[in-house]
Structure 1
Amino acid sequence: MSAETGTVRPPLALAPPGERGATRIADRVVAKIAAQAAREAVAPLPAGAAPPHATVAVHHDTARVRVLLELGYPCDIGARCAAVRRRVAERVGELVSMEVPGVAVQVERLHLAPAPGEPHGRTP
């Protein structure tokens, strides 16, 4: 109700969906989601490893993703990379409704796991 005239205003009508505009999600936002998904897939990170890093190129509703990560060694590198690909594609699709036709995974470094009883880090 308007205080000045004492009349009731009708509710605002929404424009048709095609005329409302668009939502654009920045590439860096999608990259952060992809990096977090990669972290989830390789958890726990080996001691001294940098967290996964992702770069993304978005075109319309499609995201091309590249993930850089470090893994512990020995491990099944192929299986770990496949897990990262699956998790990244799944999470980006769920959270930002984008198609991810492929995820390029680049293993930057392998961290050798210390043998049992062997000291961690540098020794004098």
Structure 2
Amino acid sequence: MIPDKVVARIAARAAREALMGQVGEPPGHLGLTAPRCSAAVSAGAARLGLSLELPYPIDIARSCREMQHHVGRRVTQLTGLRVTEVTLTIDRLVHPGGLERRRVQ
């Protein structure tokens, strides 16, 4: 049996891969923090919980669907576990310009 902590780390890595595929560069270059993940493994199956930031603007619904699919597929490929659930929590949307506000003249 694979420990929950190991499955969570694999899922967090898969989430970084998915984000990179969506935005075309490492999430850190956009000011995004690393995705955090929890996992509960039981009887050959895993339930995953991901907490992450997304760049703004982005199609949130499409991005989340792709993220859930990619993370579930990668965890299954790498561990052999059946992923029954991938729950996402979006902590915040991050604008590439950061918190800087521009004055329109």
Q: TM bucket by the smaller chain?
A: 0.7 to 0.9
The structure that is helix-richer by fraction is 2
Q: Distance in 2 between matches of 1:26 and 1:72?
A: 31
Q: Distance in 2 between matches of 1:121 and 1:64?
A: 35
One-letter identity of the residue aligned with 2:81: M
The percentage of counterpart residues that share the same residue type is 37
Instruction: Give 2:84's aligned residue.
Output: 101
Q: Following superposition, which runs of at least 4 residues in structure 1 exceed 2 angstroms of deviation?
A: 120-123
Match of 2:12 among 6, 28, 35: 35
Give the 3-state SS of the residue equivalent to 1:101 in structure 2. Answer: strand
Instruction: Give 1:18's aligned residue.
Output: none
Q: Distance in 1 between matches of 2:33 and 2:60?
A: 17
Instruction: Count residues with an aligned counterpart.
Output: 95
Instruction: For residues 80-117 of structure 1, give each alpha carbon's deviation from its aligned partner in whole angstroms, at most 9, with x where no partner exists.
Output: 11111011110111111111112001100110133xxx
Higher-Rg member (1/2)? 1
TM-score (norm 2): 0.83
One-letter identity of the residue aligned with 2:15: A
Instruction: Give 2:40's aligned residue.
Output: 57
Q: Distance in 1 between matches of 2:99 and 2:72?
A: 35
- Kindly indicate whether structure 1 or structure 2 has the higher relative contact order, using CA contacts under 8 Å at least 6 residues apart: 2
Give the 3-state SS of the residue equivalent to 1:113 in structure 2. Answer: coil
Instruction: For residues 10-63 of structure 1, give each alpha carbon's deviation from its aligned partner in whole angstroms, at most 9, with x where no partner exists.
Output: xxxxxxxxxxxxxx2110100011000000111131622111111001111010
Match of 2:51 among 43, 57, 68: 68
**C-alpha displacement of 1:121:** 6.5
TM-score (norm 1): 0.71
**What stretches of structure 1 of length at least 5 have no aligned partner?**
1-23, 115-119
One-letter identity of the residue aligned with 2:96: A
